[in-house]
Structure 1
Amino acid sequence: MERIHRPDSRPWILAGSVKINELIETWAQNQVMSELNINEHNLKDFVKSELQIDDQMMILLEKDSDVSNLDCEGDDEELYVAYEKTFEVPSNVNLETLRLQKQHIERYAIDRCYRTACLQSLRYRNQLIRVDKNTHSDVDSITSIERPIAIITVQLYRPIRFSTHFGNTHRYSFVCDQELEVLSSQWLTELRDTLTCVSDISNASDCSLNPKVALTQTAADVYKSGLFFINNTFYNDMRNRFNRDYSEPIIEWAKNQERGIGTFEKKLMEETKLSDLEIQLGYPYLYQHQGDCEHILVFSDIRLLKPCVDSMDPKDYPKIVSTNRRTQVRCGICNLNTAKWITFDNQRLPENPFFFCETCFYSFNYDNNDMKVNPFKAYPYLDKSALL
């Protein structure tokens, strides 16, 4: 796989792999356990002993390292928190840049299409950051850690779409959909159960004749198979006896030496912890589910669990740190409500596919009394319907 991804030519991929178990043992041998149990009561004593300074020097160090020294007079904090909180551009300055900035701010506030185009042109898209409210503030209630526990940051990307237009293949950009923090002591199945995808909550079959069926069962309830492909090893989810081994045909296909890919191994996801993995930070791994829904999975960081900073409750992990903003799709009829249904191959609609909200979907395609297909409306032109 290194021949395909060429990790040496990509600076964001860390050179060399990391065995998480060996890394944790190295931290333990280097006597880092005392640092893990530092709190606000013994922090000063620890710094004084490490730096070998007296009380007077410690007072000067606290004064110089105070966070108030980072503030500058005239800083407007709101400018960096939310772009929508605009500021007044001075009118008595004859600068072309300020005139264009004022014009941009005014149009950004009233023109939704212009605002969407501006957000899509950003190199780094805005993300919703979740505030960790589960962190223990009471130092006395924290139990001392017997051995180091690592926190691994995992990034899940949206599935990559390809479209061919006039003979040219167009590839959409990579978008990080979720960023999570997972403990090294947790199983891979716990990580998989936390990952969310729109294909899991969609309808698993055609529900044109009875739309109520879509509300009783989702695709995740029917198709529970999935796998992780990490470091030339397939980790299959076989907790359900009806789950399929997605890796079996791939392993058989890769046995051909002429392909030059090499042999792969397979293990069970429910019998593997994250501490058992050997990973490469920044390397693109694979998460596959729902048959052919493939996500890029990246381990971006690994660090120690820190009391007074991280939550000490294992139930808080895996924890979603940030999620990407999603574009709202409106109903194609009323253009007011958020779309909940999508229909395909309907000859009575101007677009294919077409998006409906809950009210417009039923009123346009079905009789409201018995929820049966109205032959004068949708049937037989409404071939497929799916719940968003």
Structure 2
Amino acid sequence: MNATLESLFGPPSDPIDIPAFIRTAAELDTTDSGPDPALADECSVADLRDSLFDTWNNPTLSAYLSKDNEHNVTSLYSTTKSAKPKRRVNLPDPDTLPSEVIALQKQLDSVNLTSWKLNYDVASFIRPSKNSDQNALAQVKPAPEPSVRLSDELCAIITVTVHTRSTWSSGYVNRSSQHALLSSQSLGDLVRVIRCVSDEIAEEDSMDTREPESRPPTGAEGCVICIENVAYGDGLTDNDYAQKLMRHLQSVSKDAPPLTVAPTTIYETRLSSLPLRINQPYWLLHQGNCEHFVVVDQIRLQHPSDVTTGYPLTLQITPALLDLCRACSKVPASLSVVGDIRLGESPCLLCASCWRHMGDPDDPNIIVKQLPRYELGR
């Protein structure tokens, strides 16, 4: 697992003293007189930006560029020996193209940069889009109960990405979400804002099959996060996850890592008090055995264009992969049926429509449970 993490993240930076960084950056920001207007005009890329936006916001031009790019990538893949057959992209007849598309193609063909056009060597560096490249959010999502920030305190913005172990390979991780926090906030604020499907597992003794109207996240109820060889527990009980982790490490191996329990809980530990490193994965455990890796992407001062309220902000959430109904294989399953001999497997995942068409079962021992409601994009 260590080799996998090293190949996915890093190299990590040196530990960053956040209060010292804020002081130094603030001094540089106040002493800087700003860029030279003439130099700013000379280095401006506003014309390129406006041209790009005008082209991409045009449905005709953007559709043509997307299809042309898909055709070029498919052609590059076909040149590799290990390439799998791809769906052929049928381009329209050049004589039938609109005049604006023809003009755009002439502009692209006139570019003299040798690196502008894709060559066969780039096939090894092109990958298809992954589910983690998508964002379930249409806009930045503020916290439902944002933490109170002191108005006279200068804070840094810390951007973190949360990675989760892959369901198909325990040695691989996928990005699940990205968040922005203030350095004045605590580890507890970070844990609370992380949305995880494990938080939506129903209680074992709950037999209510109705879907709840709302389910508050419970990720902070029983958790531990390890940062720079220090384990921070939630402190909700005298024997929290941090204490249990220490006892577990001492019992399984004599060569356990030099881990110590923090004197403060995640709710008492402010991010500004931690020696965080960029690109270093920090291990988080909650909900019994659900593991995440928290990676700090950047630490910076606030910009005038940044929002001033709603932190922690959720910037990205990877859409959840839902199992399809075993009967129709068309829509996501919403029910788990246990002990029904008619289905051929137990538990069997079905959609509500297929279960309704099957009719009421005769066996009273059959259990029907509502699958957890995925609120990741809400």
After TM superposition, the score normalised by the length of structure 2 is 0.66
SS in 1 for 2:88: helix
Percent of aligned positions with the same letter in both sequences?
Answer: 21
**2:29 counterpart of 1:32:** yes
Which residue of structure 1 lines up, in the alignment, with residue 175 of structure 2?
176
- Could you list the runs of 5+ residues in structure 2 that have no partner in the other structure? 69-73, 79-84, 92-125, 143-150, 373-378
The alpha carbon displacement at 1:238 in A equals 3.1
**2:301 counterpart of 1:304:** yes
The alpha carbon displacement at 1:341 in A equals 2.2
**2:333 counterpart of 1:354:** no
Question: In the TM superposition, what are the counterparts of 1:320-335 in structure 2 within 5 Å?
Answer: 320-335=314-329
**2:270 counterpart of 1:273:** yes
- Could you list the runs of 5+ residues in structure 1 that have no partner in the other structure? 36-45, 52-57, 91-95, 108-118, 135-144, 163-169, 367-373
**2:296 counterpart of 1:289:** no
The alpha carbon displacement at 1:364 in A equals 4.7
Provide the rounded CA distance (Å) in 2 between the counterparts of 1:229 and 1:348. Answer: 48
Letter in 2 for 1:155: T
Alpha-carbon spacing, 1:71–1:146, altered in 2? closer, same or farther (3 Å): same
1:26-73 CA distances to partner (integer Å, 9 max, x unpaired)? 334x342466xxxxxxxxxx436xx5xxxxxx3574255141145669
The alpha carbon displacement at 1:177 in A equals 0.7
Q: 1:104 aligns with which of 88, 96, 99?
A: 88
Retained in 2: the 8 A contact 1:345–1:384? no
After TM superposition, the score normalised by the length of structure 1 is 0.65
Alpha-carbon spacing, 1:278–1:221, altered in 2? closer, same or farther (3 Å): closer
Question: In the TM superposition, what are the counterparts of 1:1-388 in structure 2 within 5 Å?
Answer: 12-28=10-26, 30-33=27-30, 46-47=33-34, 51=36, 58-59=37-38, 61-62=40-41, 64-69=43-48, 76-77=55-56, 85=63, 97=75, 103-105=87-89, 121-122=128-129, 125-128=132-135, 130-132=138-140, 148-161=154-167, 170-171=169-170, 173-205=172-204, 210-212=208-210, 215=212, 224-239=221-236, 245-255=240-250, 258-266=254-262, 267-307=264-304, 309-313=305-309, 316-344=310-338, 346-361=340-355, 364=358, 366=360, 374=361, 376-377=362-363, 379-380=364-365, 382=366, 385=369, 387-388=371-372
1:275-329 CA distances to partner (integer Å, 9 max, x unpaired)? 111112111112221111111111111111111x21122xx11111112133343
The alpha carbon displacement at 1:88 in A equals 8.9
How many positions carry a matched residue from both structures? 316
1:189-215 CA distances to partner (integer Å, 9 max, x unpaired)? 2222211111111212265x6524x63
Alpha-carbon spacing, 1:219–1:233, altered in 2? closer, same or farther (3 Å): same
The alpha carbon displacement at 1:124 in A equals 8.1
The alpha carbon displacement at 1:157 in A equals 1.4
Letter in 1 for 2:129: L
Retained in 1: the 8 A contact 2:162–2:293? yes
Provide the rounded CA distance (Å) in 2 between the counterparts of 1:120 and 1:365. Answer: 46
Letter in 2 for 1:152: I
1:204-232 CA distances to partner (integer Å, 9 max, x unpaired)? 2265x6524x6389695699222222111
